[in-house]
């Protein structure tokens, strides 16, 4: 039995389709990443899977239970951490955990041991008397996760859990998730960070509510057609504009301070691009062939989809 399944799951709001015929499955003990930009449908998907919101069409099951007909039964076995987790800033770390223990009806026997374990698990033990409102962003996220785990859920839903969190806290947060995987927890995480997608067992790429591709990170890279040439210049944006105008047959994208060209003929495209940029007054141009990242794959798959859609 799969931990999560969806069949043509669809949600419409006043004529706008937020999730469009989503069909996927997640195995028990798997770390599954739903990846897309803001407005792609990630949050709506999670709200339907957790029984908070009913779909317009289609069906979903979590742990073999229907998300509409058996929503209350599902909630006892899942943890959900929304983008803005409901911490109480005027309660301490410990008081927040005790409050959620009461909400979930955690028995008094073993409660103290469970809370102590979660405090140690999240590295929050030294801060248990600190008010939640005085925690850093990363510590708030860890407290939110600890509260979502208070009742030992079998499936954990995380909606952009590291959004706006510093890199060190993001790394620590993912270390905690890996520990949960070792305990057999199924994790469904929605994220806009492509580097985080690389940490997942499988990844679903979603755009405008539609699932564009779903596979392991390595297999998704196999969807990439062509060779990627990475250019470093002093003015990446100007260089990209020039290349788009003068080399329209080559796919051009900006990745930070670098320009990526996707081409089927790297031996000729590379020298042509360098010569073109130098003729336009861009002096420093370094070029090399690189392996595709998931961001490259996402852009490539999205471009193909948009061409099909006209």
Going by pLDDT thresholds of 50, 70 and 90, the confidence category of residue 300 is confident
Q: What is the mean pLDDT of residues 231-255?
A: 89
Which residue has 């788009």 as its token pair?
244
Q: Are 279 and 202 in contact (CB under 8 A)?
A: no
Which residue has 């989503």 as its token pair?
22
CA-CA distance, 19 to 55, in Å (whole number)?
9
Question: Which domains are delineated in the chain?
Answer: 4-221 (3.40.50.300), 227-291 (3.30.70.260)
Structure confidence at residue 162 (pLDDT)? 87
- DSSP SS3 for 282: coil
Q: What is the mean pLDDT of the chain?
A: 91
Percent of the chain scored above 90 by pLDDT?
Answer: 66
CA-CA distance, 24 to 112, in Å (whole number)?
38
Going by pLDDT thresholds of 50, 70 and 90, the confidence category of residue 78 is very high
Which residue has 């997942």 as its token pair?
200
Going by pLDDT thresholds of 50, 70 and 90, the confidence category of residue 269 is very high
Q: What is the mean pLDDT of residues 125-141?
A: 92
CA-CA distance, 301 to 295, in Å (whole number)?
10
Q: Are 202 and 30 in contact (CB under 8 A)?
A: yes
Q: Most confidently modeled of 25-29, 228-232, 284-288, 291-295? A: 25-29
CA-CA distance, 229 to 258, in Å (whole number)?
10
Phi/psi at 108 (nearest 5 deg)? -65, -35
For residue 24, CA distances in Å to 58, 70, 177, 210, 258 come to: 12, 20, 22, 11, 34
Give the residue among 9, 79, 85 at the shortest CA–CA distance from 42: 9
Structure confidence at residue 310 (pLDDT)? 62
Give the residue among 214, 85, 52 at the shortest CA–CA distance from 162: 85
Give the residue among 267, 270, 264 at the shortest CA–CA distance from 285: 270
Q: What is the mean pLDDT of residues 268-297?
A: 89
Look at 69 and 168; give whichever has higher pLDDT: 69
Identify the H or E element spanning 9.
strand 4-13
CA 14 from centre of chain: 26
Alpha-helical runs (H) found in the chain: 42-49, 71-75, 93-103, 111-121, 137-148, 167-182, 194-197, 217-221, 236-246, 266-279, 294-308
């Amino acid at each position: 039995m799969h931990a999560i399944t969806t069949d043509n799951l669809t949600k419409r709001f006043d004529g706008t389709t937020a999730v469009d015929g989503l069909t996927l499955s997640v195995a028990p003990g798997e770390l599954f990443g739903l990846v897309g930009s803001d407005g792609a449908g990630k949050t709506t998907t999670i709200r339907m899977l957790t029984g908070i919101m009913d779909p317009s069409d289609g069906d979903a099951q979590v742990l073999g239970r229907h998300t509409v007909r058996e929503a209350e039964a599902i909630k006892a076995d899942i943890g959900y951490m929304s983008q803005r987790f409901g911490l109480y800033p005027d309660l301490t770390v410990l008081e927040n955990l005790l409050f959620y223990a009461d909400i979930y009806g955690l028995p008094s026997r073993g409660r103290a041991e469970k809370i102590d374990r979660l405090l140690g698990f999240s590295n929050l033990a030294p801060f248990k008397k600190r008010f939640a409102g005085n925690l850093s962003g990363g510590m708030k996220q860890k407290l939110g996760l600890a509260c979502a785990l208070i009742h030992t859920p079998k499936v954990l839903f995380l909606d952009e859990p590291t959004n706006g969190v510093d890199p060190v806290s993001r790394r620590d947060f993912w270390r905690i998730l890996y520990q949960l995987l070792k305990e057999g927890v199924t994790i469904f995480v929605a994220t806009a960070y492509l580097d985080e997608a690389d940490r997942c067992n499988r990844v679903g790429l979603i755009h405008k509510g539609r699932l564009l591709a779903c596979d392991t990170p390595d297999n998704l890279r196999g969807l990439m057609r062509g060779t990627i040439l990475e250019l470093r210049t002093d003015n990446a944006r100007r260089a990209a504009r020039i290349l788009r105008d003068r080399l329209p047959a080559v796919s051009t994208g900006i990745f930070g301070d670098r320009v990526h060209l996707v081409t089927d003929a790297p031996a000729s495209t590379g020298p042509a691009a360098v010569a073109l940029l130098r003729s336009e007054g861009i002096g420093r141009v370094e070029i090399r062939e690189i392996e595709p990242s998931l961001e490259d794959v996402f852009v490539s798959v999205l471009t193909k989809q948009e061409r099909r859609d006209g």
